Every structure is written in C-alpha cells, then in structure tokens.
Amino acid sequence: MPDLYKRVIMPLTDEQIENLNCGDNVLISGVIYSARDTVHQRLVKLLEEGKELPVDLRGQTIYYVGPAPARPGQVCGSAGPTTSSRMDIYTPQLLDFGLKGMIGKGKRSEAVIEAMIRNKAVYFAATGGAAAVIAKSIKAVEMIAYEDLGAEALQKMTVEDFPAVVVIDCKGRNLYESGPRKYAL
C-alpha cells in the first residue's frame, strides 16, 4: 500500500516546496512558529521600520494558532488552527521577507496567493476541530517574543508528524477552488 502522506521536514526548501501539490496530505516534522494577527502586525511594523525581527523567519513556517494552556505533563494544550484570512493584510510582506510556509484554515486573499507564487511558498491547512489531536504532534514549545500576548505570543514549536493538507501550492493551485468544482453538478 503506498504511503498516503508526504513527509515534510522543516525548514522548507525550494525543492520541497516545488514537490508539494495542491491536495497532498502531509506530515510535518521540525520547527514551526506560532503567530496570530497581533504578532503579524508587530513583525510587519519592525520590517517597515528596518528593525530586526525577534526570529529570522526566512525559510520558516508560521502556524496560525494560540494554543490552550498545557495540562500537567503536557507540552502544549489543544492547538487548533485559527482563520488564516485574519493574517492576510500582513502576510505578503512576510512572504516577501522570506517566509516559506503557513498553516491555518480557510481561504486566502488574492494578494497572499500572488505573494506565494512570487516567493515560492506553500499554504497548509490543519483540520479545525482536531485541536487535541494536533497538540499530540507538538513535542516542544519555547517562548520567543511578545509574552504579553499570552497564548498568542510568538513561540517556537517542535513538531513530529503534524498532519496537514497542501491547500495552495507554489503555483497558486487552490484546493478551495478546485475541490468544490470537482463535485459541482
């Protein structure tokens, strides 16, 4: 039986990204960063001011998540994806800076898709409603910056076999468009 998942090792390389296609099921391992809209706003402000970011995001992947507090003995609480469109106003600047991957849920703006194509990046979807299952793939969490934001701070996450789907690939092929067409009457 063929492997149903492609294995993706972080950080992403252009070669890996070129081999990921819209609709591929993947298991992600390595380091990703958690960040939501307020962190994105702060990062873009630093870029606009010509200041250094708290972490070099070139080649990296951001997971749009604000994990729940960890229970005793856990590394991370439930960690389900948030709606990605909330980051769309900031994402093109981060992609132009060198961000290569994003994990979230929901559609992306045309500006984000164009920036993905221009910068050879990929957008993965994590399953909404599966936050407790996803948290099991998170093996370590380290605070990086913006601790004042609590769960929505910028954090480094080490993941192993994090399940996701390639929703938009580096060519701009979009499962949110092609999927419904496949079943249209």
Q: Which domains does the chain have, with CATH numbers?
A: 6-183 (3.20.130.10)
pTM over 0.75: yes
User: SS3 string of the chain?
Assistant: CCCCCEEEECCCCHHHHHCCCCCCEEEEEEEEEECCHHHHHHHHHHHHCCCCCCCCCCCCEEECCCCCCCCCCCCCCCCCCCEHHHHCCCHHHHHHHCCCEEEEECCCCHHHHHHHHHHCCEEEECCCCCHHHHHCCEEEEEEEECHHHHHHCEEEEEEEEEEEEEEECCCCCEHHHHHHHHHCC
pLDDT along the chain (185 residues), means of 10: 80 96 96 96 97 96 90 84 93 98 96 98 89 87 95 95 96 83 62
pLDDT of residue 1: 34
